[in-house]
Structure 1
């Protein structure tokens, strides 16, 4: 008997240049605004392919409610745990594109903080009939934090960086990134919810925003063929951070030598 096909979702976008130009400005990249037929910088596709849902179709956290495309696993907290991208060619602005998302895997485990569920999605982006980007997105779902439960110690960042540059993520940047990616996750803009409901120390800097900063730094060295990143610990909006590099390894370091995210780049 044949297994049922994996759930898929198809979204289309006109790839309008002003949206990419707005992210360019939000990230303070400088240079003239990106225009039609310009090459889209790596990972800028995050501001396209919105899955706009009405309020009644959202969960308590502001994300689209689970139980439809992503199954309801009874775990209310969601985080972007990491991703792997392969760049087969450049996306260009002003040329319509199509993104097909496939639910690849759902895996339930038990960790130090209680039950966990890992969900892997694959996004394939096609433009002009050609596959340009393939991305695997890893999500983790977990229980609400127990006030009395001890928090696991975060991993330590490496101490052998060749480059180490200071970063800042003010609330204005978090708001603009949420708006441009149509990400309603309340941990990024609703401080009361982030602290009282999900137990964070402040507003959480988006995982893909950290990955975007690292990816642009890697791309500036040489065009990217592939990029993989993994989240290790959250970074709050009030905390200083550093972008570090050794060879083609990148990481984001937070206060107290905390490793927030690590990544590996492969160049074309």
Structure 2
């Protein structure tokens, strides 16, 4: 990994087919093809391995590098936008360049919030294959006396659904395959006692990944995908992945709430 500047990181990796195959196996689809790399599978590569002293309390690399320190401890992957320009081929070298696109701290209804957008470009043979904008939100620790946040009801006019259950093993395996150290996904005591969740939190990018795979099955090919998280999903909850027939898709929780919304083309 090469930190060209505080606002640019350059990483190189070889897209090992074994890692993609391991992810398919974790999703109970061991017979699925790995080449070209399915959309969003680049998340399995370009690990940012840091020494323990360089990690924050949540298991992520400490802020203050490419992500500025704005004094807020809780991190959430709020959404993102992807452009698919060319297929990524497994077994070949690839480069990922990450830049800080924007950062902003503001006061929200529930307290101070910080919004960070990272821009990732993944290239092979000198050509950009995937361009991704990753939206992160940082906020204060939860106030145990504050009312629970309101949730939004999900649409019920889908034309196709798929059901997905989660457990701590799947969350652990996805964390391992993406080298994601965020403790809310595997450390139940931390998730519950420090960040105030009722269970382990299903990764936002894992939900987005499942929606992308469903959208690809519906459309045949993806050229773009955007998603927005609406509420966290716990590891003990079964989700319904919904396709709207109008290039929209979403994740509905078992209580009918909207967990994630997305658009695919």
Q: Report TM bin, short chain.
A: over 0.9
Question: d(CA) in 1 for partners of 2:70 and 2:187?
Answer: 24
Question: Which residue of the partner structure matches residue 230 of structure 1?
Answer: 228
Question: d(CA) in 2 for partners of 1:184 and 1:45?
Answer: 17
Question: d(CA) in 2 for partners of 1:208 and 1:194?
Answer: 18
Question: Which residue of the partner structure matches residue 50 of structure 2?
Answer: 53
User: Which of 138, 142, 153 pairs up with 1:141?
Assistant: 138
Question: d(CA) in 1 for partners of 2:190 and 2:32?
Answer: 38
Runs of 4+ in structure 1 off by over 4 angstroms are none
Question: d(CA) in 2 for partners of 1:199 and 1:48?
Answer: 30
TM alignment of 1:129-208, pairs within 5 A: 129-208=126-205
Given that 2:24 and 2:32 are in contact with CA atoms closer than 8 Å, whether structure 1 keeps it comes out as: no
After superposition, give the CA deviation of every residue in 1:117-152 in whole Å (9 maximum; x if it has no partner). 000000001101111000000000000001101122
Structure 1 unaligned blocks of 5 or more: none
| 1:255 Cα deviation after fit | 2.5
Question: Which residue of the partner structure matches residue 261 of structure 1?
Answer: 260
Structure 2 unaligned blocks of 5 or more: none
> Is 1:23 matched with 2:26?
no
Q: RMSD of the alignment, in Å?
A: 1.2
Comparing 166-175 with 207-216, which one deviates more in the overlay? 166-175
| 1:112 Cα deviation after fit | 2.2
- With the length of structure 1 as denominator, give the TM-score of the two structures: 0.94
Question: d(CA) in 2 for partners of 1:261 and 1:112?
Answer: 21
Given that 1:6 and 1:104 are in contact with CA atoms closer than 8 Å, whether structure 2 keeps it comes out as: no
Given that 1:11 and 1:99 are in contact with CA atoms closer than 8 Å, whether structure 2 keeps it comes out as: yes
What is the SS of the residue equivalent to 1:257? coil
Comparing 214-223 with 73-82, which one deviates more in the overlay? 214-223
